[in-house]
A and B are shown apart, each in its own frame.
Chain A
Amino acid sequence: MKIENTKAQMRKGVLEYCILSILSNNHAYASDIIKKLKEAKMIVVEGTLYPLLTRLKNAGLLSYRWEESTQGPPRKYYAITDTGRDFLGELDGSWQELVDAVTTIKS
């Protein structure tokens, strides 16, 4: 069992939760989301985010509109949908359960 695999598996599950959390406060460009995730060391490379965003959008959890950019082509501006908020609420709950579980086990 490789540690890298385990880490990736853990991150995979939490990543969607993080994206929804970032967007729960304000709308953002993909690059803003990436910046926050990179600061939090949630992702290492940007490429991983695009497939996720597209899938969350297709699942109806996110929506986007095009925004003109001063430099280069128009960019996608993401926002969370109502469904996304419900989803996030549930994730908040299960995240707390997980944290509690881990804390209990480790203490």
Chain B
Amino acid sequence: MKKTFTINISGSIFHIDEDAYDKLQTYLRSINAHYGSSEEGREIIADIESRISEIFNEKLSSKDQVVTESMIDEVVTIMGKPEEIFETDSEEVEDDFKKQKVYKRRRLFRDPDHRVFGGVASGLSAYFGIDVVVIRLIFVLLFIFGYGSSFLLYIILWVVVPKATTTAQKLEMKGERVNISNIEKSIKDEYEEVKKNFDNMREKRGPQVRDGFDKGVDFAGSALRLVLKVVLIILGLGLIIAGIVSLLTFLGSLIFTTSVVGPFANMHFSGMMMPEMLFTGMGIKLFSLGLTLVIGIPLLLLVFVGIKLLVKFKTNNKAIGLTALALWLGGIVLLISVSLTQVKSYIGSGTTYANTEILDNFDGNTLYLRSEKNIDFNWQDENFDFDGVKIIVKDDEKLVIGEPTLDVEKSNSGNFELIMKKKSRGRNHDDAIDNAEEIKYTWKQVDSLLIFDQYFTLPEGDKWRNQKLMITIKVPEGKAVYLDKSVKTIIHDIENTSNTWDGDMIGKRWVMKKEGLTLSRD
């Protein structure tokens, strides 16, 4: 036994059992909910109801028959489930389209339909509303006269700017114009608003204090936005330029040892020679790679942030951030591990002692110490100095040279003597001794004149192993040395009775007295 209801659909009366009634009600309700109460919606619902009533009429042989649940199922099969009806509903398409028109601001995409390489230029052209030929021309000119900066920029844009693949993206690509006049307009709008708010604020001053205060806040807000917008544009441009220039400089110095980039052409980034000086074999390449990652990634991010400030486009910030972080950390790990594996080259230390040489006798009491340039090198020349040992570039060849240190002490033998000590580090003691013996250095005596080379040298290919060369001149009591100005760079902490600083000792004669080296009054 089942309860029945009497219903009126589209002017016809039907008997319907309880289950069927519930089902039909749910069905019509969901259709109702979708089409709503607009006139059009009501008309659609009326049409559907009238069709349902027609179907009932066809199915029922007599007026007394009851509409059952299975009949409702049949109706749903014929009319379609609510979602089937809505699926092919044309208005939704229209709605989407309208929404797009209203809300879609133009975004930067790469345009695959008009591309030469990655569609960056055609995308920029669509974004700024500038002819693509102009954009390409700018790229080419920047490439020729901007030291290839546009190439770098192009690659960065290629990587970070998404390609317009769907129709919606292609629409967005050409969405509401964003060009110079547009930016100008939006700034002008902001300005107008600021002005309006300002005027309002002045009018409303007085009785309506509170209102005035609100307007003041409004005014401050829009003024701030205007300033912020201008600042963002300047900041974006600044970041891009700074990032690109630093990147080019860095890459240039890595490849050519000196930067060839315009304004920095004469700057020295000789630090890039460091890996070559310190590491052997693969170490050099790996260290350079690590260095590139650690320095290059932040610079790339700088450019990226700059572009994002200027141009609107969608990016997977998380993915880019994580990739950058991973690469950067990778670079750090590489630097550390290369350094660690190379540390073993420095564990041992060794010192060789050349025999004490007794200098030839000469007339007079004073030994003249002079140093002569054995290598044509000025400090302005390109070099990389690492604790007294430098690597220099001479006729495109790299030389490792170092300055010896010269000390003067008292001789106990009654003769002038010269002691040369060479020091180095290495994998072990023997290796260190070998390295120390590689140090090449010459000096000569001409009567009372002792001439030192300004630099010791290392054979080509030798690495920095903290090589040191220490020369000690032993002066017997009662005799004297004259320090020529040329030894200024090599004398090192010479003890004297007046505690005179090295730099002030040159150009003077020093007598070895019982208490030590003393400035001669003669």
Q: Which residues of A contact B (CB under 8 A)?
A: 8, 11-12, 15-16, 30-31, 43-48, 50-55, 58, 71-73, 75-76
Residues of B within 8 A of A50 (CB): 44, 47-48, 51
How far, in whole Å, are A53 and B126 apart by their CA atoms in the complex?
39
Tell me if A72 and B88 are in contact (CB < 8 A).
Answer: no
CB nearest to A73 among chain B residues: B11
Q: Which B residues have a C-beta under 8 Å from some C-beta of A?
A: 10-12, 31, 35, 40, 43-44, 47-48, 50-51, 53-54, 57, 77-82, 84-85, 87-91, 93
Contacts of A52 in B (CB 8 A): 88, 90
Q: Are B78 and A46 in contact (CB under 8 A)?
A: yes
Q: A11-B88, A15-B88, A16-B90 are contacts. A31–B54 as well, Cβ < 8 Å?
A: yes
Report yes or no: A51 in contact with B91, Cβ–Cβ below 8 A. Answer: yes
Chain A residue with minimal CB distance to B42? Answer: A54
B91 touches A45 (CB 8 A): no
Given contacts A44-B80, A47-B80, 8 further A-B contacts (CB under 8 A): A12-B88, A15-B90, A44-B84, A45-B81, A46-B80, A47-B79, A54-B40, A72-B53
When C-beta atoms are compared, the residue in chain B nearest to A16 turns out to be B90
Cross-chain contact B51 with A51 (CB below 8 angstroms): no
Distance of A44 Cα from B93 Cα, bound (Å) = 20
Shortest distance between the CB of A46 and any CB in chain B (Å): 5
A53 CB contact (under 8 Å) in B47, B53, B57, B87: B47
Determine how close the nearest CB of chain B comes to the CB of A54; give it in whole angstroms: 5
B79 and A30 form a contact (CB under 8 A): no
8 Å CB contact of A8 from B47, B53, B80, B88: B88
Residues of B within 8 A of A8 (CB): 87-88
A selection of 24 A-B contacts at a CB cut-off of 8 Å is A8-B87, A12-B88, A12-B90, A15-B88, A16-B90, A30-B47, A31-B51, A43-B88, A44-B80, A44-B84, A47-B85, A51-B85, A52-B88, A53-B47, A54-B40, A54-B44, A54-B47, A55-B90, A72-B12, A72-B53, A73-B12, A73-B50, A75-B50, A75-B54
B-side contacts of A46, CB under 8 Å: 51, 78-80
Flag if A48 contacts B48 (CB, 8 Å). Answer: no
CB of A12 within 8 A of CB of B50, answer: no
Q: Which residues of A contact B44 (CB under 8 A)?
A: 50-51, 54
In Å, the complex CA distance between A92 and B84 comes to 27
Q: Are A48 and B91 in contact (CB under 8 A)?
A: no
Say which residue of B11, B47, B81, B93 sits within 8 Å of A12 (CB atoms): B93
Which of B35, B57, B88 has a CB less than 8 Å from the CB of A48?
A: B88
- With a cutoff of 8 Å between Cβ atoms, the chain A residues found around residue B48 in the complex are 47, 50
A60 to chain B, nearest CB (A): 13
5 shortest interchain CB distances as A-B pairs: A45-B80, A47-B85, A47-B79, A47-B80, A50-B47
B40 touches A58 (CB 8 A): yes
Q: Using Cβ atoms and an 8 Å threshold, which residues of chain A touch B82?
A: 47
Of listed A50, A55, A75, residue having the most chain B CB within 10 A: A50
CA distance A76 to B90 in the complex (A): 21
Contact present for B40 and A55 (CB under 8 Å): yes
- Among residues of B, the one whose C-beta sits closest to the C-beta of A45 is B80
Minimal beta-carbon separation of B356 from chain A (angstroms): 89
Contacts of A51 in B (CB 8 A): 35, 44, 85, 89-91
Closest to A56 in B: B90
Tell me how far the C-beta of B85 lies from the nearest C-beta in chain A, rounded to whole angstroms: 4
When chains A and B are docked, how far (Å) is the Cα of A7 from the Cα of B44? 24
Query: Whole-angstrom distance from the CB of B91 to the nearest CB of chain A?
Result: 6
Q: Which residue of A is nearest B88, CB measured?
A: A48
- CB-CB under 8 A from A76, the residues of chain B are 47
Instruction: For B10, list chain A residues within 8 Å (CB).
Output: 73
Across the interface, which residues of A come within 8 angstroms of B77, CB to CB? 45
Q: CB distance B84 to A45 under 8 Å?
A: yes
User: How far is the CB of A61 from the nearest CB of chain B, in Å?
Assistant: 12
Question: How far is B57's CA from A48's CA once the two chains are assembled, in angstroms?
Answer: 21
Q: Name the residue of chain A whose CB is nearest to the CB of B79.
A: A47
Cα–Cα, bound, A78→B114 (Å) = 46
Across-interface contacts of B80 in A (CB, < 8 A): 44-48
Contact at B78–A45, with CB atoms within 8 Å? yes
Of B51, B81, B87, B88, the most chain A CB neighbours within 10 A belong to B88
Chain B residues near A12: list those with CB within 8 A. Answer: 88, 90, 93
Interface contact A54-B84, CB-CB below 8 Å: no
* In the complex, chain B residues whose CB is within 8 Å of the CB of A31: 51, 54
Query: What is the bound-complex CA distance between A47 and B28, given in angstroms?
Result: 12
Residues of B within 8 A of A15 (CB): 88, 90
Name B35's closest neighbour in chain A (CB-CB). A51
Closest to A69 in B: B54
CA distance A58 to B43 in the complex (A): 10
Complex alpha-carbon distance, A47 and B43, angstroms: 13
Report the separation of the CA atoms of residues A47 and B80 in the bound assembly, to the nearest whole angstrom: 6
Q: With the chains together, A73 CA to B88 CA distance in Å?
A: 28
Alpha-carbon separation in the docked complex, A52 to B44 (Å): 9
Q: Nearest chain B CB to A69's CB is how many angstroms away?
A: 8
State how many angstroms separate the Cβ of B450 from the closest Cβ of chain A. 88
**Residues in A neighbouring B50, C-beta threshold 8 A:** 73, 75
